Chains A and B, each alone.
Chain A
Amino acid sequence: MDFTITDELADVRDEAVRWVAEHVDPEWADIQHRSGDYHTPELHQLLARDGWLGAGWPAEYGGRDRSPAQAAAIHQEIAALGIHEDGWSTTDMVCKTLLHVGTEEQKQRYISKALAGETVIVLGYTEPDSGSDVAAAKCRAERDGEDWVIHGQKMFTSTAHMATHVFLLTRTDFEAPKHAGLTLFMVPLDAPGVEIQPTHTVGGQRTNTTFYSEVRVPDDARIGEPGHGWDVMGVALVYERGGGGAGRTGPSLTDRVAGWCRGQITPEGTSLFDDPTVQQRLARIAIESEVARLLGLRVGWVAGQGGMPGVEGSMAKLYGSEAKQRHYSAMQDILGAEAVLTHGSPGAPLAGEVDTAFRYAIVGTIYGGTSEIQREIVAQRRLGLPRSRPKS
């Protein structure tokens, strides 16, 4: 038993901090916050130019001779500034999938351009009528000579308005059983017939609804065999479920709320921190945050032992995302009436950070597999309870 957390990136952290200090404008966090665009093209270009996107990739597909650890540390520093890299995370995931299932020609074509920052790839799985039940996709792709013609609609195609390609889940066989009629395509977002409309969220993030009207793509844009889309998605999913790493630590939002409470004097003349109801809530948040951290670390440990941390990943995601919602809600209560003041609003406690976190936490229990889907996984795979879905 050992809970020592070794920072595997310790050696490269200083260098990462230096690169970020030199190239990253902290303003970008604010710009992302205001615009809802969780992708900063300027930053993406810089990372590509200096080889950080290509770190760890095979040279024949545009990989660069850069340390992957160093790249990871840089991404962590960027995240710590509150800057999202959603465009890179989906691109990275799709490229890793291509490495497994793409043809040699596709790997050459798509991966090298992505690593050079020339392409950004987003995910087009969800549809108006199918989200959790992703295999129920109805977006149609029909063979027409050497080409495929795509027709349908996708929901929540995040970052599509700043991207070049969408990794699109389509149905190529309407007769086959649900999971056997799916096929994936790499569709250029500037192809005739593609339309992108914004969808705005409570957390401020902009996502998109995308429409595909008789969009024509050549057969070499097809990823994997026709009808094997479900297996291709399975490869991609492996890369979506990462565990929590050691990461970078600083004072948590809970620490800052506690500090804020100390400075508040109640009408009775005592510090708000001395209020036992505040103390109880802070204690609960601290305990549950530690539990969430440990469940996240366990995912990495199981993977490091050569295991497949499927259920552990579900548990960490379920617990962590649900706990965050409870915690930010409790912090809002503690901050009181002023808690409703948003980021940038005069007098907002802690510059509105709790409100921002509260809003953003909503989506944690929805995307990446909703809490209900995670509970299903835990109930069936950990507890051995029967599969409760209707047959389809």
Chain B
Amino acid sequence: MDLSFTAEQEALREAFASLFAHTAGTDVVRAAEPLGFDEKVWDQLVRTGAPAMAVPEGLGGGGAGFVDLIVVAQELGKRLAPAPLVEAVVATNLIAEAAPGGPLLQGLVDQDRVATLALQPVASGTARLVPAGAVAEVLIALDGDELVAFERPAGARPHVPSPPNLGASPIADWSLDGPDLQRTVLAGGAEARRLHHRARAEWQLLMAAALDGLRSAALDIGVEYVKSRWAFGVPIGWFQAIQHRLADVATAGEGAQLLLYEAAWARDTGGADADRLAAMAFLYQSELAQLTTRESLQFHGGYGYTLEYDIQLYFRRAKAWPLALGDPARLACELARDLFAPES
């Protein structure tokens, strides 16, 4: 076991921590609401090549691995950066595998187009509440038996209205029979399902990383608050009711982070249990991000409920982000069937 990052990964973390610190302060996060997209932040990310960073170098990407990717996603999560990097990376990886030589990939590698993925199969011609759907030019969806890329016409970023939502995320429906959408089949049958399943697992992994960043930042906010707020003549962090609950989320949080790292490492090394570990990391990080932001908010007292304090930004997203995948209990059942399959 080795829990250290390489010097390059440390440098990557520092670079993105500083990029997000400069471009995505909480003022920017607030200003980007309700859409949840900031063109400048996205532009900066595109300049670093982040959306295509895991595409093989031969195809014009950065050739990065998943441990590298989660480092970036953690930093994004810490700042709640209003940019759909998780979805873009997953969709771009998928296109790089399914259509490596095509213009679709070129458009994503060379330009600032946003690609995303419908996490659920399409029903009655509509991809419902697609994450980043309001700002994406390209959508990959499992449509019946086919994995299809839908492209909006070239031009200005769409900014389709996004329905008001808890996480202030640019989610939107895509009506897939619209006349202006260009439809390209990427794969069919079992291959289509395999690719979609894999992309969904990658999304779980990167979302787990973003949630890990969100969680750890929310813990820090809570800890700072309880050190500086006084009641009954002591800082409220003196009270054990508060100490112990923060200790519990800190402990489980560090464990969740180890699980995230293990899942990323398994993906990079082609581990047979990479999908399972991604689901485990996603489920656990979702739960802990919600619990940690709740505890942090609770210890802010009435101020936690006001829009003025940052903790509410974290609290809302901790619930909203993972819900893009639907009821987590369904994923848990899927995971159990997979983990405890009878030996064949």
Residues of A participating in the B interface, judged by any CB pair closer than 8 Å: 1-5, 254-255, 258-259, 262, 273, 276, 278-280, 282-284, 286-288, 290-292, 294-295, 297-298, 300-301, 315, 318-319, 372, 374-376, 378-380, 382-386, 388
- Which among A262, A282, A388 is the interface contact of B239 at CB below 8 angstroms? A388
CB pairs A–B below 8 angstroms (8 shown): A1-B265, A283-B283, A294-B255, A301-B3, A375-B240, A378-B251, A379-B250, A382-B250
B259 located at the interface, meaning its Cβ lies under 8 Å from any Cβ of chain A in the complex: yes
Q: Which residues of B contact A295 (CB under 8 A)?
A: 251, 254-255, 258
**A3–B238 touching, CB < 8 Å:** no
Which of B235, B256, B280, B283: most chain A Cβ within 10 A? B280
B244 at the interface (CB under 8 A from A): yes
With A1-B265, A2-B265, A301-B2 given, is the CB distance from A378 to B250 under 8 Å?
A: yes
* C-alpha spacing A294/B262, complex, angstroms: 9
Distance in angstroms between the alpha carbons of A333 and B190 in the assembled complex? 39
* Cβ-defined partner of A379 (8 Å) among B234, B243, B256: B243
Q: At the interface, is chain A mostly helix, strand, loop or mixed?
A: helix
Is A279 in contact with B284, judged by CB distance below 8 angstroms? no
Interface residues on B, range: 35 or more
Task: Assess the B252–A319 pair: CB atoms within 8 A.
Answer: yes
CB of B240 within 8 A of CB of A388, answer yes
**Interface presence of B147 (CB below 8 A):** no
- Are A286 and B67 touching (Cβ within 8 A)? no
Enumerate chain B interface residues (CB-CB to A < 8 A). Answer: 1-5, 67, 223, 226-227, 234-235, 237-240, 242-244, 246-248, 250-252, 254-256, 258-259, 261-262, 264-266, 280, 283-284, 329, 332-333, 335-337, 339-340, 342
A282 touches B339 (CB 8 A): yes
Cα-based distance from A291 to B340 in the complex (angstroms): 18
B330 nearest in chain A by CB position? A276
Chain A residue nearest in CB terms to B251 = A315
A360 to B334, CA, bound (A): 31
Given A384-B227, A388-B243, the answer on whether A283 and B335 have CB atoms closer than 8 Å is yes
Do the beta carbons of B255 and A375 come within 8 Å of each other?
A: no
Would B254 and A315 count as touching, CB distance under 8 A?
yes
Task: Enumerate chain B residues within 8 angstroms of A3, measured Cβ to Cβ.
Answer: 1, 261-262, 265-266
**What residues of chain A lie closer than 8 Å to B1, measured between beta carbons?**
2-5, 297-298, 300-301
Give the CA-CA distance A294 to B5 in the complex, in Å: 17
Give the complex CA separation of A9 and B332 in angstroms: 35
The smallest C-beta distance from B151 to any residue of chain A, in angstroms, reads 36
Using A378-B251, A385-B223 as known contacts, say yes or no to A290 and B2 having CB atoms under 8 A apart: no
Question: Which of B242, B284, B336 has most A Cβ within 10 Å?
Answer: B336
Q: What's the nearest-Cβ distance from chain B to residue A152, in Å?
A: 30
B243 partner residues in chain A, CB cutoff 8 A: 375-376, 379-380, 383, 385, 388
Contacts of A290 in B (CB 8 A): 259, 262, 280
A315 to B256, CA, bound (A): 12
Separation in Å of the A262 CB from the closest CB of chain B? 6
Q: How far is the CB of B106 from chain A (nearest CB, A)?
A: 32
On chain A, the residues within 8 Å of B226 by CB distance are 385
Q: How far is the CA of A23 from the CA of B283 in the complex (A)?
A: 46
Query: In the bound complex, do residue A379 and residue B340 qualify as a contact, i.e. CB atoms below 8 Å apart?
Result: no
Minimum C-beta distance from B211 to chain A (A)? 14
Q: Give chain A nearest CB distance to B128 CB in angstroms.
A: 23
What is the CA–CA distance of A36 and B5 in the complex, to the nearest angstrom? Answer: 47
A-side contacts of B244, CB under 8 Å: 372, 375-376, 379
Residue of B nearest to A4 (CB): B1
Closest to B219 in A: A383
* Contact indicator B335/A291 (Cβ below 8 Å): no
Q: Which 6 A-B pairs have the closest CB atoms?
A: A379-B243, A291-B255, A279-B336, A258-B340, A378-B247, A294-B258
List the A side residues contacting B284 at CB < 8 Å. Answer: 287-288, 291
Question: Roughly how many angstroms separate A99 CA and B254 CA in the complex, as a whole number?
Answer: 35
- The distance in angstroms between the C-alpha atoms of A295 and B335, with both chains bound, is 22
**In the assembly, what is the distance between CA of A1 and CA of B271, in Å?**
14
Residue on B with the closest CB to A297?
B1
Q: Tell me which of B246, B329, B336 contacts A282 (CB under 8 A).
A: B336
Residue of B67, B259, B333 near A294 (CB, 8 A) is: B259
Contacts of A254 in B (CB 8 A): 340
| 19 further contact pairs, Cβ within 8 A, besides A280-B332, A384-B227 | A1-B4, A2-B1, A2-B2, A3-B1, A279-B333, A282-B339, A290-B280, A298-B258, A375-B240, A375-B244, A375-B247, A376-B244, A383-B223, A383-B250, A384-B223, A385-B226, A388-B238, A388-B240, A388-B243
B243, B256, B283 interface centre (most CB from chain A within 10 Å)? B243
Please tell me if the beta carbons of B247 and A283 are within 8 angstroms of each other in the complex: no
Interface centre among A259, A262, A295, A383, by most B CB within 10 Å?
A: A383
| A284-B262 contact in complex given A1-B5, A384-B223, C-beta closer than 8 Å | no
Indicate if the CB atoms of A283 and B332 lie closer than 8 Å: yes
Alpha-carbon distance between A273 and B224 when the two chains are bound, in angstroms: 45
Measured CB to CB, the nearest residue on chain A to B337 is A279
Q: What is the bound-complex CA distance between A283 and B281, given in angstroms?
A: 12
Whole-angstrom distance from the CB of A291 to the nearest CB of chain B?
A: 4
Interfacial chain A residues near B283, Cβ < 8 Å: 283, 287
CB distance from B233 to the nearest CB of A (A): 12
Contact of B259 among A280, A291, A372 (CB under 8 A): A291
Known: A3-B262, A291-B255. Is A262-B250 also a contact (CB below 8 A)? no
> Which of chain A's residues has its CB closest to B6's CB?
A1
| Bound CA span A375–B250, Å | 10
Q: How far is the CB of B274 from chain A (nearest CB, A)?
A: 11
**How far apart are the CA atoms of A283 and B284 in the complex, in Å?**
10
